[in-house]
Chains A and B, each alone.
Chain A
Amino acid sequence: MSDRRPPVRTRGGLLVAVVVGLVLWFEARTVAGMFFGVTLPPVPYMLAGVVVVGALAILADVTRTSHSARS
């Protein structure tokens, strides 16, 4: 698509999975608040999300069996 190489060779799928995971984690807080009346403090909760989603991402990366070089 372009001639420029990215500065860090990331896994596109992992980036998207992390972002989608964080968004779902964030939305879960709204569900907890609006449906179950449980108000979770925003900043600690999102930091926890970064940790959890990040850990899952690292796990997925180290356990991957395919190393497709295709984009």
Chain B
Amino acid sequence: MATEAGTPTFANKYPEEASIVRRAFLVAFIALGVGALAGVIQALHRTNILRIIPSADYYTVLTLHGVLLVIVFTIFFLVGVFQWAITRSLERSPPNITFTKAWLGLMSLGSVMTGAAIVSGVISEVDASADVLFTFYAPLQAHPLFYAGLVVFIVGTWLAGVDWFRTWLGWRREHPDERIPLQAFMVLTTMIMWYIATIGVAVSVLFFLLPWSLGFIDQVNPLLTRTLFWFFGHPVVYFWLLPAYLLWYTVMPKIAGGRLFSDPLARVVFVLFVLLSTPVGIHHQYMDPGIAQGFKFIAMTNTMFLLLPSLLTAFTVVASIEHGARQRGGTGLLGWLRALPWRDPAFTGMALAGLMFAAGGFSGMVNAGMNINYLVHNTLWVPGHFHLTVGTAVALTFMAGTYWLWPQLTNRRLYSRPIALAQVVLWFGGMALMSNAMHVSGLFGIPRRTAEPQYQGFDFATTFGGVSELNIQLALGGTLLFVSTLLFLSNLALSLAQPTRSGLGQQLPAALSGPEDSPRVLDNLALWSGIAVVLVVLAYALPLGSIIADSGLLGPGGTAYPAVLTPDSLAGLQAVVADPVVRALEVVA
């Protein structure tokens, strides 16, 4: 693959920042590995092909799978990519690298706290658990460490945003009339969306769930905390997606041999996400009592319009890679596809991820279709959908992007490109198998989030396929995905042992249509933030107000399941954790 001889790598130019990015990626990939292991255990368990854990523990594994993959893996990767992107595009280091290390440290601490609480669920000596799944709906209750860890983690991400905004403000003082470079623009707009999005879950956890788990309040309002979660739960998917979009817009055209078709349209897309990501959360609650139909209808229309930035992205990305293909000599209406660098796993991974995203987007439209949602809500269709979106569009793009970025972060070549190519193709095939089975199973009513969808009193009536055929397909797909994950991780691990070398630097070309072709108002971050807040208030003030008026801030009654902070559980924790530490300190002192 051609490299620009003499271009210093990111690791050469910004060694401390490269170290931050590598560390963030390290945590991300450890989470990916453990999360993937959990996934294959689940795939084999729920299809009744291989059960190596008791079914009650399935839910601990599922909680781990969700939290590790969509909180730890995705967001640590995001902070790594964003740190790279903002440093590179503003050509500027963070104002204080210690602050940068601090937020990364907080995120890591939070992850360990929450992870420990979850894993305690399968350690019988410790009377603590967090078998509440990624959504932690009350009155199911986790150990306070679970909630506290999430708080610490999210505060870490908030500080990351502060770090990047400060970097940008420093740049702006020195470049007062310039347009914000595109990658920095993407980082900043994504973080604005994140600040707005996390308000919901922060309120829910800080004011209700954490005090409740510590015993300071007796009860919480399940519908209220659910609604606050989904206030966050929809925009978080764009927090996962927008780093992938950053790679598709700014890196993929380069890998394809060309340039980004339109910088202005990329800016418009990210502004649309700032505005529309959060006022749609109620589309996850179409089946909820206590929320009026009018609010659900508004969420539906907002969600349908959220399809627009993704459709625009499809156009721009395809146009950009077509440009690249023609630069490489491709000709013809469709023949240019042959001229693309399909042997490059970074390109192929992103292209396959984009292709799969189209399918995922359409199954998402079914989910968004308010009354159609009756047929698929909480069935296996829903994981079928999100394994195409976060599981492929995001995860596969992250892996493909890593193949391209890793040499620039380490000054070492990748161990094996053919294995990397096999890995991305295997992911695509495995996901097609698994996700197809999930979608079809869901249409027959087979539920998600369950250890044993085999019931005593009835069988699922299938009009196509048959349950055992669908199970085999799901298990096979899941296994292929796990193998693909192992290939990714081992390829990277072996790359660490490669000798360092020079000449691995890459430059990103300017867009064909640059920012100067777009209205300056696009860069007015304060304006878009303000409008976004107004839209969120409009979408949520009345529903939240009505829930609180109907059933109270703390709910009409009820107990916690399980109530974890009992004197017994504290004693158990003390015996396993605190006492050995004290004894060790006594020995050392």
- The smallest beta-carbon distance between A11 and chain B, in angstroms, is 8
B416–A34 CB distance below 8 A: no
List which B320-374 residues lie within 8 A (CB) of chain A: 328-329, 337-346, 348, 351-352, 355
The answer to whether A13 and B340 have CB atoms under 8 Å apart is yes
Minimum Cβ distance to chain A for residue B156 (Å): 33
Q: Which residues of B contact A39 (CB under 8 A)?
A: 464-465
Can you list 22 pairs linking A and B with CB atoms under 8 Å apart?
Answer: A1-B344, A1-B345, A1-B403, A2-B413, A2-B417, A4-B417, A7-B418, A11-B342, A13-B343, A14-B342, A16-B342, A20-B428, A23-B432, A27-B432, A27-B436, A33-B463, A33-B465, A34-B443, A34-B463, A39-B465, A68-B328, A71-B344
For the complex, would chain B's binding face be called helix, strand, loop or mixed by DSSP majority?
Answer: helix
When distances are taken between beta carbons in the complex, the residues of chain B under 8 Å from A14 are: 342
Residues of A within 8 A of B342 (CB): 11-16
Measured between alpha carbons, how far is A53 from B346 in the docked complex, in Å?
24
Q: CB within 8 Å of A: which of B47-62?
A: none
Ranked nearest first, the 5 interchain pairs of A and B with the lowest CB-CB distance are A12-B343, A33-B464, A12-B342, A6-B418, A13-B342
Neighbouring B residues of A71 by C-beta, 8 Å: 1, 341, 343-344
A27 to B362, CA, bound (A): 15
B443 touches A15 (CB 8 A): no
Partner of B352, one of A1, A16, A27, A42: A16
Identity of the chain B residue whose Cβ is nearest the Cβ of A22 in the assembled complex: B429
Residues of B within 8 A of A3 (CB): 413, 498
| B436 and A30 contacting across the interface, CB-CB below 8 Å | yes
Q: Report whether A15 and B344 are in contact in the complex, using a CB–CB cutoff of 8 Å.
A: no
Q: Contact between B413 and A70 (Cβ–Cβ < 8 Å)?
A: no
**Nearest CB in chain A to that of B359: its residue:** A27
Set of chain A residues within 8 Å of B344, measured between Cβ atoms = 1, 12, 71
Chain A residue numbers with a CB within 8 Å of B345 are 1
Task: Determine if A19 and B429 form an interchain contact, defined as CB atoms under 8 angstroms apart.
Answer: yes
**Are B417 and A19 neighbours in the complex by a CB distance under 8 Å?**
no
Interface string of B1-29 (1 = CB under 8 A from A): 11000000000000000000000000000
Interface string of B390-420 (1 = CB under 8 A from A): 0000000000000100010000011111101
Within the complex, the shortest CB–CB distance from B353 to chain A, in Å, comes to 12
Residues in A with CB closer than 8 Å to B498 are 2-3
User: Is B532 interfacial (CB-CB < 8 Å)?
Assistant: no
Q: Are B343 and A4 in contact (CB under 8 A)?
A: no
Interface size on B, residues (CB 8 A): 42
Inter-chain CA distance A12–B233, complex, in Å, is 38
Q: Which residues of A contact B329 (CB under 8 A)?
A: 66, 68
Residues of chain B having any CB pair with chain A under 8 Å: 1-2, 328-329, 337-346, 348, 351-352, 355, 403, 407, 413-418, 420-421, 425, 428-429, 432-433, 436, 440, 443, 463-465, 469, 495, 498
B1 adjacent to A16 (CB under 8 Å): no
Nearest neighbor of A6 in chain B, beta-carbon distance: B418
A44 at the interface (CB under 8 A from B): no
Q: How far is the CA of A37 from the CA of B464 in the complex (A)?
A: 7
User: Which chain A residues lie closer than 8 Å to B2 at the CB level?
Assistant: 70
Nearest A residue (CB) for B356: A23
- Distance in Å from the Cβ of B316 to the closest Cβ of chain A? 21
A-B contact count (CB 8 A): 96
Residue of B nearest to A34 (CB): B464
**Apart from A2-B495, A12-B341, A12-B342, 17 more pairs, CB < 8 Å:** A1-B413, A3-B498, A4-B417, A4-B418, A13-B343, A16-B348, A23-B432, A27-B436, A30-B440, A30-B465, A33-B465, A37-B463, A66-B329, A66-B338, A68-B328, A68-B329, A71-B344
Question: In the complex where A13-B342, A16-B342 touch, is A4 in contact with B328 (Cβ < 8 A)?
Answer: no
> CA of A64 to CA of B329 in the docked complex: distance in angstroms?
14
CB-CB < 8 A to A37: which residues of B? 463-464
Q: In the complex, are the beta carbons of B417 and A6 less than 8 A apart? A: yes
Q: Chain A nearest CB: distance from B380 CB in Å?
A: 14
Query: Is A23 a contact partner of B413 (Cβ separation < 8 A)?
Result: no
> Which residues 11-52 in A have Cβ within 8 Å of B in the complex?
11-16, 19-20, 22-23, 26-27, 30, 33-34, 37, 39, 42
Residues of B within 8 A of A30 (CB): 436, 440, 464-465
Partner of B432, one of A1, A26, A33, A64: A26
Complex alpha-carbon distance, A61 and B369, angstroms: 44
Beta-carbon nearest neighbor of B331 in chain A = A66
Cα distance A15–B206 when bound, in Å?
Answer: 51
A23 near B421 with CB under 8 A, answer no
With the chains together, A67 CA to B428 CA distance in Å?
A: 27
Q: Complex: how many Å from CA A66 to CA B335?
A: 11
Residue of A nearest to B341 (CB): A71
A37 to chain B, nearest CB (A): 7
Measured CB to CB, the closest approach of chain B to A47, in angstroms, equals: 16
Instruction: Let me know if A15 and B415 touch, CB within 8 A.
Output: no
A1 and B407 form a contact (CB under 8 A): yes
B443 and A12 contacting across the interface, CB-CB below 8 Å: no
Q: For the complex, what is the distance from the CA of A51 to the CA of B532, rounded to whole Å? A: 53
Q: What distance in Å separates the Cβ of A52 from its nearest Cβ neighbour in chain B?
A: 17
CA distance A40 to B98 in the complex (A): 62
By beta carbon, the residue of chain B nearest A27 is: B436
Contact in complex: A15, B421 (CB < 8 Å): yes
Complex CA–CA separation, A14 to B2 (angstroms) = 21
Cα–Cα, bound, A70→B351 (Å): 18
Does the CB pair A1–B429 fall under 8 Å? no
A30 to B352, CA, bound (A): 20
In the complex with contacts A22-B429, A27-B432, A2-B416 CB distance below 8 A: yes
B487 to chain A, nearest CB (A): 14
The residue in chain B whose Cβ has the minimal distance to the Cβ of A37 is B463
Nearest residue (CB) in A for B355 is: A20
A42 touches B348 (CB 8 A): no
